[in-house]
């Protein structure tokens, strides 16, 4: 049983080593998208506010109006908004692609949990007491929690998806 515990523990550690950088990367991308002071979404929306103020000062109903179309400040704002929007879309694409990879690793966690549960069931059925049995049962519970954490990270929060209407 200690050999089985060691093998399953190593497999779990391998999964954690592979997924932790992805979760860190997702957190950084989420910050780069939403951060109130440095986030790209704020830059995009700040551009909308600046554009509205400039259009009001020019008495132009839209950026396509002849008065606004020739205004260098309006053009600079539009360029800045386009850049921020492109950055948002890039961040969003990378975030959700990584989230898909995290979801796939979540399936590996479920497979490992099934292996652990099978060993626990086999040892319980044989009525053998082992020092490793309690550790395996604990690992099974931890794998379940870990899978739930991965599901949460991969599905909740994050930036708008690249298909969001405002990113089109």
Which residue's structure tokens are 């086999």?
122
Quickly state the pLDDT bin for 134 (edges 50, 70, 90).
confident
Give the pLDDT score at 1: 62
Q: How far apart are CA 46 and CA 43, in angstroms?
A: 5
Query: Cα separations (Å) of 157 from 7, 14, 95, 116, 133?
Result: 34, 26, 11, 31, 37
Instruction: Identify the top-confidence range among 102-111, 119-128, 148-157.
Output: 102-111
Q: Is the pLDDT reported for residue 89 higher than 80?
A: yes
Structure confidence at residue 127 as a pLDDT band (50, 70, 90): low
Please report the pLDDT score of residue 128 as a whole number: 61
At residue 168, the pLDDT reads: 81
Q: Are 29 and 95 in contact (CB under 8 A)?
A: yes
The stretch 120-132 carries a mean pLDDT of: 73
Counting the structural domains of the chain, the total is 1
Mean local confidence (pLDDT), 83-88: 95
Q: How far apart are CA 32 and CA 26, in angstroms?
A: 10
Largest CA distance in the chain: 85
pLDDT value of position 129: 66
Instruction: Give 15-23 contacts, CB < 8 A, sequence gap 24+.
Output: 15/105, 15/108, 15/109, 15/112, 16/146, 18/105, 19/102, 19/105, 19/150, 22/98, 22/101, 22/102, 22/105, 23/102, 23/153
Range of the domain at 20: 2-167
pLDDT digit string (tens) for 7-41? Answer: 999 999 999 999 999 999 999 999 999 998 889 99
Mean pLDDT value of segment 87-103: 96
């Amino acid at each position: 049983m200690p050999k089985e515990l060691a093998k399953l523990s190593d497999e779990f550690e391998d999964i954690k080593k592979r997924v932790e950088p992805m979760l860190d990367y997702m957190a950084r991308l989420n910050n780069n998208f939403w951060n109130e002071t440095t986030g790209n979404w704020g830059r995009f929306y700040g551009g909308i506010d600046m554009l509205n103020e400039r259009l009001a000062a020019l008495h132009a109903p839209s950026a396509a109006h002849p008065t606004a179309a020739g205004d260098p400040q309006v053009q600079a704002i539009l360029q800045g908004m386009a850049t921020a929007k492109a950055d948002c879309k890039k961040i969003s694409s990378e975030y959700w692609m990584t989230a898909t990879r995290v979801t796939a690793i979540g399936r590996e966690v479920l497979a490992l949990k099934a292996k652990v549960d099978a060993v626990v069931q086999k040892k319980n059925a044989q009525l053998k007491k082992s020092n490793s049995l309690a550790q395996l049962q604990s690992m099974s519970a931890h794998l379940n929690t870990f899978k739930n954490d991965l599901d949460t990270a991969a599905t909740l929060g994050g930036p708008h998806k690249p298909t969001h209407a405002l990113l089109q």
